[in-house]
Amino acid sequence: MRKYAARRVLMMIPTALFTTMILFALMKLMPGDVALAIVYGIEDDVEVSSTKEEAEERLEKIRERYGLNDPIPVQYGKWLWKVVRLDLGDSIWQYRPVKDIILERAPRTFQLGAMTMFLSYALGIPLGILAAMWHNRWQDQVIRVATVAGLSVPTIWLGTLFLFTFSRYVGWIPPLDWKGPFENPFHNFQMIIVPVIIVGVHGVSSDMRFVRAQMLEVIREDYIRTARAKGLATNVILVRHALRNALLPVLTGFGAAISRIIAGSVVVETIFHIPGMGRSMIDAISARDYPVIQGLVLLFVAVILLVTLFIDLLYSWVDPRIRYE
């Protein structure tokens, strides 16, 4: 197991390196000139030039300051060396280190993600078990229709519909000023519970379908019939024997759930004014704040890689038939 874990960690290195190359190349392919954005829209100490020569001179100074005149491989090497030292650069819009922005915004997005994951599995797994027990009954049909609807409805449409309905007909919307869970727990709960439910709808629906399909496959196995013949209680058979063997695909989908939550956070944080990493990503794209975009995307990729590694290591614990040599 230790050898497998070491190999998986070593395999992450070229994957992460290739990801940084793609990320850096995409930033360079984005339309617009960073120097122009800094001169005419971002830096307060630079005035718009009245002549073309003065404008070109200021643009050249900006390019020299940020290393934009260096060849692309040199720029990538300098940026990667800073990333290795956990130096993500400075925001050209907020005038502070990108690392500080991430440390400020990350807990809010992680809170949203953790509550969404809890909701997804707390409802998805029991609903999947019940749907398998009620196979082809009306209860099963209702749950299946609800999950198909949950997977089909876009997050942005659901969030907008909620705001319209509750503001117009109920007269209530979630608070717009952020307060942390330790600063004002009730205020924080009011602000985050609706985004959690909206993003969690997809997670609950997906987990329910995974669990239902696997449970229907597992409960037809010979060892399940043997357990029933021995007189074991139904709940013992479902939880101790069937559910554990049915959880492997659900565990595999955990990585996809993380990606879904990251994508969903960008939408709901913008709609509900949650100052998290998703909202920061939208603001950085609007301002062409490339260091912030690179830092946030790099963090998202790192989280997905670490979660994938964690899932692979959990396989042998969930399913004893899996062993790594």
Tens digit of pLDDT for each residue in 271-299? 888 888 888 888 888 777 778 888 888 88
**Is 155 or 108 the better-scoring residue by pLDDT?**
108
176 and 250 in one domain?
yes
Domain total of the chain: 2
Residue 278 to residue 261: CA distance in whole angstroms: 10
Residue 187: exposed, middle, or buried by beta-carbon count in 10 A (0-12, 13-18, 19+)? middle
Please check whether residue 89 lies inside any domain of the structure. Answer: no
Considering the domain boundaries, does residue 90 fall inside one? no
- Same domain, residue pair 175 and 261: yes
Give the separation between CA 212 and CA 139, rounded to whole angstroms. 13
Query: Is residue 44 domain-shared with residue 125, that is, in the same domain?
Result: no
**Same domain, yes or no: 69 and 185:** no
Q: Show contacts of 219-224: CB within 8 Å, 24+ apart.
A: 219/132, 221/245
Q: Per the structure block, which two tokens stand in for 109? A: 């997005």
Within-domain flag for 324: no
What tokens appear for 281 in the block? Answer: 């990503």
What range defines the domain where residue 150 resides? 99-318
Q: Note whether residue 91 is domain-resident.
A: no
Do 41 and 108 reside in the same domain of the chain?
no
Considering the domain architecture, whether residues 188 and 231 belong to the same structural domain is answered as yes
Last residue of a domain, one of 60, 84, 108: 84
Q: How far apart are CA 82 and CA 88, in angstroms?
A: 6
What is residue 173's predicted lDDT score, i.e. its pLDDT? 79
Q: Shortest CA distance to 120 belongs to which of 179, 220, 207, 20?
A: 207
- 191 in a structural domain: yes
pLDDT one-digit tens code per residue, 207-237: 888 888 888 888 777 777 787 787 777 777 7
| Same domain flag for 66 and 131 | no
- CATH number for the domain spanning 260: value is 1.10.3720.10
**Per-residue pLDDT at 278:** 83
What pLDDT does 41 receive? 52
Per residue in 241-255, pLDDT tens? 777 777 777 777 777
- For residues 11 and 8, give the distance between their C-alpha atoms in angstroms, rounded to a whole number: 5
**One domain for residues 36 and 12:** yes
Long-range contacts of 217-220 (CB under 8 A, 24+ apart): 217/246, 218/242, 218/245, 218/246, 219/132
Residues 152 and 267 in one domain: yes
pLDDT in tens, 41-69: 544 444 444 566 766 777 777 777 777 77
Domain end: 23, 51, 84, which one? 84
Q: Which residue has the tokens 């608070």?
A: 175
Q: Over the chain, what is the mean pLDDT? A: 79
pLDDT of residue 55: 67
Query: Domain for residue 325, yes or no?
Result: no
Instruction: Provide the pLDDT for residue 33.
Output: 67
Predicted pLDDT at 37? 66
Instruction: Summarize pLDDT for 124-173 with one digit per residue, the tens.
Output: 888 888 888 888 888 888 888 888 888 888 878 888 888 888 888 888 87
DSSP string spanning 69-134? TS-HHHHHHHHHHHHHTT---B-TTTSSBHHHHHHHHHHHHHHHHHHHHHHHHHHHHHHHHHHHHT
**230 is written with which tokens?**
């021995």
10 and 129 both lie in a single domain: no
User: To 5 degrees, how large is the angle CA 171–CA 191–CA 257?
Assistant: 120
Residues 203 and 63 in one domain: no
Q: Is there a domain that residue 234 lies in?
A: yes
Q: Supply φ then ψ for residue 262, to 5 degrees.
A: -60, -45
Confidence grade of residue 38 (pLDDT, cut at 50, 70, 90): low
In a domain, 93, yes or no: no
Regarding whether 142 and 269 lie in a shared domain, the answer is yes
Q: What's residue 319's pLDDT? A: 62
The half-sphere exposure of 32 on its side-chain side, counting CA atoms within 13 A, is 17
Asked which of 51, 84, 117 is the last residue of a domain, the reply is 84
